[in-house]
Structure 1
Amino acid sequence: MENYTEFSHFTLSAYVDTGVFKYLYFLIILTFYILIICANVFLIIIICTNRSLHEPMYLFLCSLFVNELFGSTGLFPLLLVQILSDIHTVSAPFCFLQIFCLYTYGGIEFSTLAVMSYDRYLAICHPLQYNARMTSKKIAVLTALMWFYPLFTNTYILCALTLPLKLCGNVIDKVYCDNYYVVKLACFDTTVNNIYGLTHMFTVIFGLLLSIIYTYIRILKVCFSGSKQMRQKAVSTCTPHLLSLLNFSCGCFFEIVQSRFIINSLPNMLRIFLSLYWLTCQPLINPLLYGLKMPKIRNVYKGLFGETIMEKDT
């Protein structure tokens, strides 16, 4: 039986000494964080203050933007501190808190995209029954499910599977805390953790992906058999969802591949980029996708900024 120690902190070993360039990296990351906060908060305010956007699709979008803020806050503050620090350590409680936040963010993101695809499916494939099916009660239930189910599953993973582990080391080869890397530090057999992790990944993530693919196949069938106007409407509302799903799925795929399969041939900076992609690009790209592609949001922009320009001219 191997010896183990109760560690009070973890060391994030993926950071490299960049000298004075660390201040440049700090400014770049800080700029990204500020842009993410401003863009997502702005769209949340736009949706909440305009009654014309108080529809199921935009309410789900608002939930998506709130999740982007949640995930970004789970990553960027620690990342900014670690970039300027010479000793890349993080306390064990904060490390587990970050794991909970980031994994929950990923679960909510997939759940929200699945609910949004279901909403578009009802709106396009069953337009006459849409209001009867997508009631206020159903919206509340779907919103609660896409938030509380990931919260519950990740709480269970941490409390029942990860926290009780006896660790033989405290070095995480990443720039942020990761549950898989903590499990790898365990002194004892982690078969239960690995089986649960794989089962959770296949049943939840791939299950949601399959449901999304199925809904869009149904949508495409209706669009190809419908009028040109229907196709244009479907394209204008579904394109942002599909691009967002593709971006997030690719980011998660990069993260899984580079974490689960040790790729020593990749440069360290590329490995860091691949591990951060799903956490940094999605919160920044989503506001741009939905803000520029959704016609109703564009109309609100035009009305808002058009009135501002007219007031200045007068």
Structure 2
Amino acid sequence: MATRRDLDGPGRADESPAQIVQLNALVVMQIIKQCEELRSLGEHAEGYLCGLLEAERLEITYAYPSLRGETTDQEADDYSDEMNRRLRQQGIDNMVVGWYKSAVFGSFLNREVFEAQYAYQSAVEESVVLIYDPVRTSQGLLTLKAYRLGPEIMNIVKKDGLEFSMESVRQAKINVETLFQEIPIRIKNSHFVNAMLSELEVIAPSPNKRPFLDLSTSNILEKNVGLLLEGVDHLLSENAKLTNHQKRIQRLQSDRIRIVQRKNAQRQAKGEPLLTEDEINQMFPRPFPDSPRADIVLTAAQVSQYCDKIGQFSAQSLSKMQMAEALQGKLKDSSAAFVSAIHKEVQPNQ
């Protein structure tokens, strides 16, 4: 895999990572094709992203799938090296600048994605992960987002490892917004592709009918609520583990205080000086075990994302319902006025 030194040019060493991700239309089609093929088999798709870095833009020009099934790290590295060699022979950008993954309803904030993205960013700082939602895309809304770990969480993991502590999270003020940063995406077509799309629009224009006022919520809201409940249950179980860990720490602290007080009482009875701080540290060389914080932070971030999805979907549905009620009220008023006018015309004739 490429390192940051491979990407750095003159004056690039101290600059911030790329602030926008530019995708070729070919990359989007490659990702959609593989994700849809594996979705029909009930599997999630993953793969590598190749491209280059220009100024503050990360340009992704090619994507290819990763090995399916259980593979070792050596097999995955050999496969990636062989693919990069073949791409280089064809004159295609072969520098790995990230990876992609399919995730239904945005369910991607877990330890597997966190560890994989940390590994990519450790090698190439500008690396991103593209999350593709096949369900939303099948409904006519292309859902493809780019994420990168925030600099605060990268520094914590470099310092404390993947099992970072609660104290480190508190000091760095890590929250669900700074865990994964969303990077804007721009899809770019060549002039030939734009010309072809313009010609197709003339030859076979798309119908003007759009289901903008479709009031059915299908099963999206129900599925998101179910995922939210599962996330909240997991969060409660993690909080229970954290509470039990804190109680264990309090018991250990009480035991240490009791032992020190007993030792000091014995030394005082013998007329000896009390235990010093260094002597106490020698008696208890092992520090108190700290609680791992990664799982609870990731779960809280996933629950927050479910809440945002439900809020967006509910707001759209409520807006449609209010518009439909207003139109229905006006329709009733116009119908009543029409019927009243007919009655007025009929009565004089009688």
Q: Looking at secondary structure, tell me which structure has more helix per residue.
A: 1
Q: Which has the larger radius of gyration?
A: 2
- TM-score, normalised via structure 1 length: 0.28
- TM-score, normalised via structure 2 length: 0.26
Q: Looking at secondary structure, tell me which structure has more strand per residue.
A: 2
